[in-house]
Structure 1
Amino acid sequence: GRRAVMGGARGGARRLSATAPADDTAAPQVEEKEKSTRSGSGAYEQFRDGISDDERQSVNESWDKIMRWSRRVDIHNAKLEDVLGATNKVAVMGGGSFGTAMATLLARNKADLDVVILCRSEVDAAAINNDHRNTKYLPAYELPSSVRATTDAAAALGGADFIIHAVPVQSSKSFLASVKQHIHPSTPILCLAKGLEVGTCEMMSEVIPAGLGRDQPLAVLSGPTFAVELMQGLPTAIVAASTDEALAWRVQRLFGSSCLRVNTSTDVVGVEMSGALKNVLAIAAGIVEGLNLGNNAMAALVAQGCAEIRWLAGKMGAKPETLSGLSGTGDIMLTCFVNLSRNRTVGVRLGRGESLEQILGSMTQVAEGVATAGAVMTLARRYKVSLPVLTAVARILEDNLDPATAVDEIMNLPQIPEV
């Protein structure tokens, strides 16, 4: 009969009969594999057979109801004001990655829309105008030809139907004071910045009117978004929050597209506090990564951080459903677990032993969580809330606590019931 030959690693070749298994375990392994395949198939058959015809019909009817509701909403929306169609000019204050990405999104939504980015640097503005690229922050992506840039505030802001605020939180108040004469009092400002102002602990919905010296129509946009994925046209969802429900709806109609869903909310506090505090939590998550503490620790830390955000934001008036939505859970998941996050990167490098000065000195964009962490300490005292994870980040950033020591302190806190 036919013979099979197998070479041993040390003992030379061993001749084996083709009618016999290659070794004592080969046959059981084959049988086990076949058994596994059969059991997997059987599990599917059990699942399929376990669903009755009535249950299948119920599921199909439910899906049909969702589709009918969706079509009714589409018909209703088609009769509403065409906000994008009525918009001729949008100004973007700030030439960073997120502002550029949102400018690009709008320009793609409407080819003849005039989109103007107000830059600080003549070099950056020239690159956008001549090369159609933001060479500093998004060099790999070509911008639509209708996106232009200038350093002239009057030229950028004058006549705008909407103004997007994409300036870092800590410089927002002084920046707005310097350009307020060019902003019409009735022009809505749509804020992309997430964070709390150091010293005052003010949210952006408080910083913007303070900087302008007057009330202004205002909406804040937040949610799990990375600029590069917006540039790539990948599916994204955000929330637009305003105390003026009609303005939130207009923002939804302005930005909504096949690649961007925009939910609306009137819970400005919930949306802002979620967006601000998740940056601090992302630094903590990065520290866990940098210390190589494992997945168990990461999950436990983020869960604790989510609870702390809920405690503080709830004391400030946020709605629970907001904290479990896009600006809360959604943004936390993205920022804490994905390497593209600047705040998470700060934490990783801290955990690996770098100083904050070294880290910030090498970064080209702002990690808002660094400044916001200090404000969290103040708010924890003001609202009498215990925030061990979030306040530990502030202590680490102030060089008052070693990251490894912080972990030991948190692990040795009193054992408590789940809350």
Structure 2
Amino acid sequence: MESALTNPLFPKTQSVQSPHNLGLVQKFPSNPNSVLVLHSSSNYSGVCMCFVDETVKPLPPPSQNPDLISDTDPVSTTEHRRVVRLAWEKLVRWSRSWQSKAATNDVLGRTNKVVVLGGGSFGTAMAAHVANRKAQLEVSMLVRDPQICQSINEKHCNCKYFPEHILPENVTATADAKAALLGADFCLHAIPVQFSSSFLKGIADCVDPSWPFISLSKGLELDTLRMMSQIIPQSLRNPCQPDTHWDENRLSNADKGKKMAMVVASKDKQMANAVQQLLASKNLRISTSSDVTGVEIAGALKNVLAIAAGIVEGMNLGNNSMAALVAQVHWYIRRHLCYNVVLDYNIRMEIEYLILGVFFPPMKMGAKWATMTGLAGYGDIRLTCFVNLSRNRTVGVRLGSGEKLDDIL
């Protein structure tokens, strides 16, 4: 049964509750050129269809004072002026509160030291990016290779990864975990997933329980199938260790002036916002998400698909075959996300093991559809498949060219 309510913003309209529980529909009784707004009251996204209503005077632009609306205009009724003034006041209050929060939440200004765990390609690129954000910021890299450590401290470059890239002077390296972690505000974890557990257990005694960890690693642990969101707190023996998870991408391009976009996921919204303020720059746009599982599963899928894309490249199958691979991957993901709510558990388990053994339904693990089809999912998959920047893709290229896996590894 529909229930009609009077809409205070548009006195000539009615708000009718949709029988499908989709929200409130604004109806104009007579004018066909009216405004139809569907406000979502469920988990579905709101839908807005707008048509011109010549009987309603548009709101003034932000730079115009509502009090200056002409009294001679017959449409400028007292009710209309009151609504405009209330909207204006709310907009001003929101703007001031946002500016106040931005001024008090100066994460980068309050940060004095950032530790990067690992001296690989992505750890080095991240250290350079963070160091460029603030000249007074101390960036310490914890590395095990003494040659890399010496190269960073003396020549300001990583002799093994990006030897041509000069690191900022505020980037230093050490093999001493206690010295590196002393006084840290943020810890960026760039150790490969398969070695993360043993590495973190070795430095657990030096880690403050309140330090936020930003995981830059992608994939699942082979023996346990654990994700980094499970490995970090369990290895540090602190189930409450704050952590965020990064949609890793070719970050080195950001320091070359290329525009990039990435995703930071955390169950703690304030933590995700803090990481966003710390790392976002004019060349790097960072979106936040609460779907930690989705971002991690998308990264694990990407690693497998990178090898498949490399095989297509190594066999010289052409761009059409590469596009077919990407399209098929998207179909698999959509199918699994859909059948998770249609088929029973036993049928789902059989299909999981039949389709390459890697396309398990992310939804069953808690991933969200928007994450898998967004930047962290489809976006990263397409970048990895079509651009030769991934180590996994390089392995696939060599496999497709006829080399043996043992020789490649």
Question: How far apart are 1:77 and its partner, in Å?
Answer: 6.0
Between the aligned partners of 2:254 and 2:408, the Cα distance in structure 1 is: 26
Q: Find 1:84's aligned residue among 94, 108, 114.
A: 108
Checking the alignment, whether the CA contact within 8 Å between 1:287 and 1:350 is kept in structure 2 is: yes
Find the counterpart in structure 2 of residue 218 from structure 1: 243
Query: Which amino acid is 2:392 matched to?
Result: N
Q: 1:233–1:317: structure 2 CA closer, same or farther, 3 Å change rule? A: same
Q: Does 1:203 align with 2:227?
A: yes
* Matched AA of 2:246: L
Name 1:139's counterpart in structure 2: 163
Residue identity matched to 1:217: P
Structure 1 residues 170-208: Cα deviation after superposition (integer angstroms, max 9, x where no partner): 000000000011110000000000010001111110111
Please list the CA deviations of residues 298-324 of structure 1 after superposition, one character each: whole Å capped at 9, or x if unmatched: 212112223334522122111111112
Show the counterpart of 1:260: 284
Distance apart, 1:275 and its partner CA: 0.9
Please say if 1:125 is aligned against 2:165. Answer: no
Q: Secondary structure at the match of 2:307?
A: helix
Residue of structure 1 in register with 2:366 after alignment: 317
Residue pairs, 1:285-300, within 5 angstroms: 285-300=309-324
Q: Distance in 2 between matches of 1:298 and 1:77?
A: 46
CA shift digits 1:269-304 (9 cap, x unpaired): 100000111110111111112222222222121122
Matches within 5 A, 1:125-274: 125-215=149-239, 216-223=241-248, 225-274=249-298
Asked if structure 1 preserves the Cα contact closer than 8 Å seen for 2:312 and 2:318, the reply is: yes
Partners of 2:376 and 2:95 in 1: how far apart? 27
SS of the residue 2:165 aligns to: coil
Residue 327 (str. 1) matches residue 400 (str. 2): no
Asked if 2 retains the 8 angstrom alpha-carbon contact of 1:196 and 1:203, the reply is: yes
Task: Give the equivalent residue in structure 2 for 1:342.
Answer: 391
Query: Larger RCO: Structure 1 or Structure 2 (Cα < 8 Å, ≥ 6 residues apart)?
Result: 1
Shift of 1:164: 0.4
Q: Matches of 1:206 and 1:121 in 2, distance apart? A: 27
Residues 184-234 of structure 1 deviation map (CA, whole Å, 9 limit, x = unaligned): 0000000000010001111110111121122210000114x2143133232
3-state SS of 2:238 partner: coil
TM-score, normalised by the number of residues in structure 2: 0.69
CA distance in 2 between counterparts of 1:258 and 1:252 reads 12
Amino acid at match of 1:261: R
- 1:218–1:142 CA distance, 2 compared to 1 (3 A): same
**Whole-angstrom distance in 1 between the partners of 2:120 and 2:179:** 19
User: Residue in 2 aligned with 1:357?
Assistant: 406
CA contact (8 A) 1:101 1:230 kept: no
Instruction: Summarize the alignment of residues 19-168 of structure 1 with structure 2, pairs less than 5 Å apart.
Output: 75=99, 78-168=102-192
- The runs of at least 4 consecutive aligned structure 1 residues that moved more than 3 Å come to 71-80, 307-310
**1:275 partner letter:** G
Distance 2:145 2:270 in 1: 35
Q: How far apart in 1 are the matches of 2:316 and 2:256?
A: 32
Larger proportion of helix: 1
| Partner in structure 2 of residue 49 of structure 1 | none
**What RMSD in Å do the two structures reach over aligned CA positions?**
2.3
Identity of aligned residues (%): 54
Deviates more, 1:84-93 or 1:324-333: 324-333
Q: Deviations over 1:97-151 (max 9, x none)?
A: 1111111111111100010000001111111011011111011111110000000
Residue 72 of structure 1 deviates from its aligned partner by: 5.4
Offset, 1:80: 4.3
Name the CA distance, whole Å, in 1 between partners of 2:121 and 2:312: 27
Do the aligned residues in 1 keep the contact of 2:201 with 2:236 (CA within 8 Å)?
yes
Distance change >3 Å, CA 175–CA 288, structure 1 → 2: same
Cα distance in 2 between the residues matched to 1:79 and 1:309: 42
Contact 1:252–1:262 (CA under 8 A) maintained in structure 2: yes
Q: In structure 2, what residue type is equivalent to 1:289?
A: E
- 3-state SS, counterpart of residue 220 of structure 2: coil
SS of the counterpart of 1:79? helix
8 Å Cα contact 1:97/1:227 also seen in 2: no
Q: How many residues align?
A: 296
**Which amino acid in structure 2 is aligned with residue 93 of structure 1?**
L
What is the deviation of 1:79? 3.2
Deviates most, 305-314 or 204-213: 305-314
Structure 2 residues without counterparts, runs of 5 or longer? 1-50, 53-57, 63-90, 337-360
Q: Distance in 2 between matches of 1:233 and 1:97?
A: 18
